[in-house]
Amino acid sequence: MLKKLCVIASVSLCSAAFAADCSFDLKGTDKMTYTDAKGAAVPKIVVPASCKTFKINLGHVGKMPVTGMGHNVVITKSGDVAGVATDGAKNKKTDYVKPNDPRVIAHSKMIGGGQSTSVEFPVAKIKGGGYKFFCSFPAHSGRMIGDLVVQ
């Protein structure tokens, strides 16, 4: 639909339309899950290759405090998830992310019910594929995790 419109619309209108797709509204719940704005599961987030940067907006739609049901968004290679989550669990004061961890592409702060945050990163950094987004609150990465797919 959008591509069809782009054929007949002006170039500037087209880039404006595509620029609007360079973000995703992710929700975190009291049930230790990520959902989309409609409450559906989010096994993957598609990142348009045409985007220079991509932003994930995280809103905690639950009521539990950050100390009991904290959520964030951390981006790493798939193979680094376990290590980053394990080391992150020891770093409560820094949003459960080890400071200056070179395996972390980007991460948001940790939030509780009713709060929101976001994380933005250059698409070039994940272009090779094989990257995940996950929550690094202790024991959350098993359920709160998905693929970042550039296409």
Q: In 58-97, which positions are buried (b, 16+ CB within 10 angstroms) versus exposed (e)?
A: bbbebebebeebbbbbbbbeeebbeebbebbbeeeeebbb
- Of the candidates 135, 132, 136, which has an alpha carbon nearest to the alpha carbon of residue 147? 132
Taking CB under 5 A as the criterion, the residue among 137, 141, 145, 148 binding Co ion is 137
Q: Residue count at the site for Co ion (CB under 5 A)? A: 5
Residues 45-84 that bind Co ion (CB under 5 A): 71
140 belongs to the binding site for Co ion (CB under 5 A):
yes
Residues 12-31 that bind Co ion (CB under 5 A): none
Q: Which residue has the tokens 């609007």?
A: 20
34 belongs to the binding site for Co ion (CB under 5 A):
no
135 belongs to the binding site for Co ion (CB under 5 A):
yes
Could you list the residues that contact Co ion (CB under 5 A)?
71, 135, 137, 140, 144
